[in-house]
């Protein structure tokens, strides 16, 4: 059982549409990170959020950390084919840090032209 539940598992949209990926848990995290991974490669960091209620924007990507630090969301505006990839949320538990990230199962996003 994974501590971080990611939804949806798969998302296929047309270029220009918006999408949101959710990451939920019943546990409290001291920080939460979002990564994007291409097939056969390592995860590439997109953002780290550490404060409850925090919102970070990275061009067309908006990340939000829940007030209670138990959940997060990633919103992509006007998606482009280059946004295609596996999106992973990962967090460090308040009670178990030291390099141990808890990962969600991932959301495979496919953006078609």
Q: Which residues bind other proteins (CB under 8 A)?
A: 2, 30-31, 33, 35, 40-45, 48, 88, 90, 96-106
As measured in angstroms, the least distance from the Cβ of 1 to other proteins is 11
Find out whether 83 and 17 touch, Cβ atoms under 8 Å.
Answer: no
Task: Give the number of residues written for the chain.
Answer: 113
Find out whether 40 and 47 touch, Cβ atoms under 8 Å.
Answer: no
Among 60, 56, 57, CA closest to 81: 60
Closer by beta carbon to other proteins, 47 or else 111: 47
DSSP code at position 96: B
Closer by beta carbon to other proteins, 2 or else 18: 2
As measured in angstroms, the least distance from the Cβ of 35 to other proteins is 7
As measured in angstroms, the least distance from the Cβ of 69 to other proteins is 14
Closer by beta carbon to other proteins, 15 or else 94: 94
Closer by beta carbon to other proteins, 50 or else 78: 50
Rounded CA separation 60/79 (Å): 8
């Amino acid at each position: 059982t994974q501590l971080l539940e990611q939804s949806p598992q798969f998302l296929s949209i047309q270029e220009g549409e918006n999408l949101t990926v959710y990451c939920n848990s019943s546990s409290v995290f001291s920080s939460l990170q979002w990564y994007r991974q291409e097939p056969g490669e390592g995860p590439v960091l997109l953002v780290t959020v550490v404060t409850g209620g925090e919102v970070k924007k990275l061009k067309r990507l908006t990340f939000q950390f829940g007030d209670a630090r138990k959940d997060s969301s990633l919103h992509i505006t006007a998606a482009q084919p280059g946004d295609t990839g596996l999106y992973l949320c990962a967090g460090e538990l308040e009670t178990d840090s030291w390099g141990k990230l808890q990962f969600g199962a991932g959301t495979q996003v496919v953006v078609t032209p």
